[in-house]
């Protein structure tokens, strides 16, 4: 039976021309061997690789550009390990930054200790709703999605962490309007990619297209801006993850539909315009 470092080294060589990341290999080995963290594969490098057949089958999928998160059906998001499959997008670092920005800025708008009613629109794996509920225990969270498959996964992850988060099926604000809900906060990471050439092959080939690409004539941003008054009871905070190239489009859209509002565009750690916070008074 080969040692872990031998399997890892051979996979690095074979995967190089296919663009396989060394961290993805560590994720696979850690998952197969039952280690808590990918870095643990280095600490245990002299142990025998007892799951060699399983790893080899997974490595073949990795060579075909399949995301490692789908191969092991798990994605790390902040302190949460979430079940994922091709029904949902793989949570990204930028969405973790969205949570961080909400946490840092919420006191500019509300006392976060209050029982705020918050909607996570287009929840996917449930990452945003779970992270917010884990941070703000008193918030009344509802997660919605248009996809049955996505909602099934969100519910699975919510149940795993034992959080009280309601789920609704529907497009944009429609299920909230139907339920006659009044919201304090809307959070959404909707489809926002305009240029399909920006998308990596592993994303383009495996992740759900309906969660990736924005159609300017029919999108979540416009649907929410059109209908926000139907769920607004007092002030309403809207927090979006956005595409780096949508600033001008969203300024125009806000001017077309919103009243008595202030907004702020926020850059991500790479210096790209990535988030939009809107306070509707």
User: Could you report the per-residue pLDDT of 41-60, keeping only the tens digit for each?
Assistant: 989 999 999 999 999 999 99
User: Which one has a higher pLDDT value, 82 or 197?
Assistant: 82
DSSP for 91-147, written as a single string? P-HHHHHHHHHHHHHGGGTS-TTS--EEEEET-TTTHHHHHHHHH-TT-EEEEEES-
Angle at 59 between CA 128 and CA 200, to 5 degrees: 50
Read off the pTM: 0.91
CATH superfamily placement of domain 85-280:
Vaccinia Virus protein VP39 (3.40.50.150)
* Average pLDDT score over the chain: 91
Residue 106 has pLDDT above 60, yes or no: yes
Residue 71 has pLDDT above 60, yes or no: yes
pLDDT for residue 24: 94
pLDDT for residue 151: 97
User: Could you report the per-residue pLDDT of 197-229, keeping only the tens digit for each?
Assistant: 565 665 555 556 665 555 666 689 999 999 999
């Amino acid at each position: 039976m080969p040692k872990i470092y031998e399997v890892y080294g051979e996979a690095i060589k074979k995967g190089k021309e296919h663009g396989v990341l060394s961290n993805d290999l560590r994720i696979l080995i850690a998952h197969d061997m039952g280690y808590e963290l990918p870095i643990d594969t280095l600490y245990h490098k002299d142990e025998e690789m007892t799951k060699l057949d399983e790893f080899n089958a997974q490595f073949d999928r990795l060579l075909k550009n399949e995301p490692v998160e789908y191969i092991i059906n798990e994605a790390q998001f902040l302190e949460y390990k979430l079940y994922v499959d091709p029904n949902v997008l793989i949570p990204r670092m930028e969405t973790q930054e969205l949570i961080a920005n909400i946490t840092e800025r919420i006191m500019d708008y509300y006392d976060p200790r209050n029982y705020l009613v918050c909607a996570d629109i287009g929840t996917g794996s449930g990452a945003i709703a779970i992270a917010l509920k884990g941070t703000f225990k008193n918030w009344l969270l509802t997660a919605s999605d248009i996809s049955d498959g996505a909602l099934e996964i969100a519910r699975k992850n919510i149940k795993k962490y034992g959080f009280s988060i309601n789920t609704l099926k529907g497009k944009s604000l429609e299920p909230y309007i139907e339920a006659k809900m009044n919201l304090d906060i809307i959070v959404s990471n909707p489809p926002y990619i305009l240029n399909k050439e920006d998308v990596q092959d592993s994303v383009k080939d495996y992740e759900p297209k309906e969660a990736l690409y924005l159609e300017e004539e029919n999108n979540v941003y416009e649907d929410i801006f059109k209908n926000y008054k139907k769920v607004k009871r007092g002030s309403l905070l809207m927090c979006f993850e956005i595409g780096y190239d949508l600033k001008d489009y969203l300024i125009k859209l806000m001017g077309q539909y919103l009243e008595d509002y202030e907004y702020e565009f926020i850059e991500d750690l790479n210096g790209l315009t990535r988030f939009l916070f809107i306070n509707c008074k």
